[in-house]
Amino acid sequence: MQHYKKIGFGGGCHWCTEAVFQHTTGVHEVLQGYIAAEGAYADFSEGVIVTYNPSVISLTQLIEVHLHTHQATVSHSFRKKYRSAVYYFEQEQKASAQAALQELQQYFQAPIITKVLPHVQFSPSRESLQNYFRKNPTAPFCERYILPKLAKLKERSLITSTKGDIPFCVR
């Protein structure tokens, strides 16, 4: 029997984040929508819930994929809509995510601004927005924003392919 875990990610457009994780080996399901945490982060921000197999891909590897596919070091004016975050479901994930961010900082010149926050609430995107890249791989948005992210991951050896529904392999 396979044992899956869930983790949430926010950082950029959820169309992009959804596509990246849909093509990552070890990821079973990606739900696109809006995530809320607590306190100052209780408002909804675009994000995804990733269900993954920890015996195939580690939380650190998932966070690495996430950091390299959005502006994880930039505090821009759209951060309320595109909060850079890892949303944990289990308390043990909090410490693991914080440790992963510290470990991965060495690959970035500027400080990583990604927050580690509790997952409190999720609201899915409307059906027409879900699986956007799979439904529209040649759409201008996908060609301009999603394909370069996938190519960047391939270049960094985080995935092995950027064509079709071929599963991508995380290093």
Residues with active-site annotation: 13
**What radius of gyration do the chain's Cα atoms show?**
15
- Kindly report the number of other CB atoms within 10 A of residue 118's CB atom: 17
**Backbone φ, ψ for residue 6 (5° rounding):** -120, 145
Interatomic CA distance for residues 2 and 54, integer angstroms: 9
Reported as half-sphere exposure (CB side, CA atoms, 13 A), residue 44 has a value of: 11
Could you tell me which residues come within 8 angstroms of residue 164 by beta carbon, excluding any fewer than 6 positions away?
Answer: none
How far out from the chain centre does Cα 31 lie?
11
